[in-house]
Structure 1
């Protein structure tokens, strides 16, 4: 069943097919040595970015979790070669958050952890997520380096469970989308081209899982990945 109602199932089906065709086109050029040497890395990086967009679009369209987890693990395996935590903060944040909700294995999680810890950034939110799986990673001495909208999650993390749910709902309904106004994907659903793959606050789901929140009041709230938080109870 479709999870993101901003677009319909046909749209997401066509979007995913379009991105897969782009990957195939890029890969054929790489295999045929038709890409200039100084462009090879950029093309491979683009392929990985397209795979990530397909993953999110698959979640938006209602794809089964077994398929999504396989796609996710493939992306993680290549992240160290193509993803820069300092340049693509939201991508690393989403991958960590999705990994927490999918309960990925330690090897996959450690790949993401190492990417973050090797960075010069000492970001509170990233380190908080890592701390859930590795208690040796301190987050309390860090700050929210990307304040909008993520600093508002401090009102969730530092509160009791009942207050945290209320604060998380406020974050989702009042802070998250507008707080990402400078992101490349902001308002992308209005474009005529097929560029949209879904609006999801994956970090909200990860925090709800970490804090073991009673998130029934968040079911159906825009941007909240409810069934991903509870994926082991969902079909697939």
Structure 2
């Protein structure tokens, strides 16, 4: 199919897509083996981890915008979440344990976090929701309605809260509490109508006006959280499809997905857990990013600090992200 026929937004060109796809793939490779020049060792590791996570997310959305198949996004989404888990773990060494991957009080981070949660629903990857919650809950649990409610559609034990960080999301939030489908649709239409203008202070706003090889901030303008709510609320989204920022193909994928479809590879190992969280399975656990032996932790115990050398070479306890090395 011709590129102009398959692309999902009219702004993107085939040349731009190919150039920036290569850029993000090369960026992931570069920052896997290279560290930024400035900062402490911990800050350099965190910076490289951020660049990798950002490029993985950008590449995933860029491919969707260009009209690539949606099914591979199920696996790509897990890779994005894993990249942000590593970034948060690195940041916790710079700041404090439990430092969030996304600072929800900042609009750009908030937008990306809601997009990721929305994608979990639309791509049938609700298994990733607890991992996203683990990134944000230490700082933001019970502080934002949209965050809590989107998680609650796939997780037990979330909190009912009547406050949120960004007023521009009010219509999106109201859509979940309409007395009828018509009210919910009216709220979502109002939200989509204002969505792009509400993002005017973000760096990517109007980036489609300069699609060059030197300026690659445009990866698509998508109100994914609105699409997720239309899907979760089982709304007739005919009117929503008139908005260019409404990712209707993701909604169609969510509605038509069958469990018999080839699933994205899912590890049978327990989800990585952080220092202070409850150990889900007895075994030898390895601290990511530290060249130290694994430690035996019993199910039900809290995950420990890792004893690892700091930049002076002295061993000291540090928070870590733990993965199961082998069962005991």
Normalised by the length of structure 2, the TM-score is 0.64
- State how far apart, in whole Å, the 2-side matches of 1:161 and 1:145 are: 26
Question: Among residues 191, 196, 199, which one is paired with 1:180 in the alignment?
Answer: 199
- State how far apart, in whole Å, the 1-side matches of 2:46 and 2:102 are: 17
- For the pair 1:22 / 2:27, whether they are aligned, the reply is yes
Q: CA deviation at 1:103?
A: 1.3
- For the pair 1:70 / 2:75, whether they are aligned, the reply is yes
Question: Among residues 213, 216, 224, which one is paired with 2:246 in the alignment?
Answer: 224
Q: Which of structures 1 and 2 has the larger relative contact order (alpha carbons within 8 angstroms, sep 6+)?
A: 1
Structure 1: which 5+ residue stretches go unaligned?
none
Q: Deviations along 1:76-103, whole A, 9 cap, x unmatched?
A: 1232232522252222111101111111
Normalised by the length of structure 1, the TM-score is 0.88
After superposition, residues 135-214 of structure 1 pair within 5 angstroms as 135-139=156-160, 141-147=161-167, 149-159=168-178, 160-173=180-193, 175-191=194-210, 192=212, 193-214=215-236
Q: Deviations along 1:176-230, whole A, 9 cap, x unmatched?
A: 1111112222112223423211100011011111111111222242100111012
Q: Deviations along 1:21-74, whole A, 9 cap, x unmatched?
A: 2222222325xx989734122012111111110011011011112221111111
Higher strand residue share: 2
What is the aligned-residue RMSD (CA, Å)?
2.4
Q: Where in structure 1 do 4 or more consecutive aligned residues deviate above 3 Å?
A: 33-36
Question: Among residues 6, 11, 18, which one is paired with 1:13 in the alignment?
Answer: 18
Higher helix residue share: 1
Q: How many residues align?
A: 230
After superposition, residues 79-94 of structure 1 pair within 5 angstroms as 79-83=84-88, 84-86=101-103, 88-94=109-115
Higher Rg: 2
Question: Among residues 101, 111, 123, which one is paired with 2:122 in the alignment?
Answer: 101
Contact residue 73 and residue 123 of structure 2 kept, 8 A? no
